[in-house]
Amino acid sequence: MINLPLKLEYILPPLCLVILSSSFATFNLNEYLEFNRELVANGEFWRIFTSQFVHANWPHLGLNCAGILLIWALHAEHTSPARYAFNIAILALWCGLGVWLFCPDIQIYTGLSALLHGVIIWGAVKDVQAGMFSGWLLFAGTWAKVIWEQIAGPSESVSQLIASNVAIDAHFIGAVGGTLLALPIFIKIIKNRE
């Protein structure tokens, strides 16, 4: 039987993330919050952070909400509301700065998918720490997906669904961010095995 993490402390953080992103979509705030390279260069630096929480359209938001739901089901019990907020905030800033610094071809960027790649990597490492072999599979599988995107390019069907380019380089940046965020956990795992 599936044992979902249904305590309020586990439900509330991902629910807040869904509500925040849905609110931005409802009020069509992309014009003010999306990553726009020209506007960031002109001093609208908040877009580096806020771009993670707006989406190209409703299907784009729906895909990312499905990702939030999956991560909640897999890893909610590994984190407190404060840790969840910390991970989201750090990865949002990391991913936005990564797009700004390392993806000069990206002029407009939106979406949670990059930071969600980081969150799922962090959760996979927490699974490993909890002694779950599936954590290694999830870690390797997520990295395999990110590397495959770098080799094969973005999914054409997803690009059509969201009516936008899939920012595979941002996914890579998010996975790197999640791995770095999980580094202290890796160190604890290694020390505990000594």
Q: What is the pLDDT along the chain (194 residues), one digit of tens a residue?
A: 567 888 999 999 999 999 999 999 999 999 999 999 999 999 999 999 999 999 999 999 999 999 999 999 999 999 999 999 999 999 999 999 999 999 999 999 999 999 999 999 999 999 999 999 999 999 999 999 999 999 998 888 877 877 777 889 999 999 999 999 999 999 999 888 87
What domains can be seen in the chain, in order of their start residue? Answer: 8-193 (1.20.1540.10)
Nearest to 57 by CA among 157, 163, 167, 171: 163
DSSP letter, residue 56 = S
- pLDDT for position 166: 83
Contact (CB, 8 A) for 25 and 34: no
User: What is the sign, positive or negative, of the torsion defined by CA atoms of 75, 79, 80, 81?
Assistant: negative
Q: What pTM was estimated for this model as a whole?
A: 0.94
- What's the pLDDT at 2? 65
CB 141 within 8 A of CB 46: no
For 11, 16, 30, the CA distances from 126, given in Å and listed in that order, are 18, 22, 34
Instruction: Say what the pLDDT of residue 163 is.
Output: 72
pLDDT at 4: 82
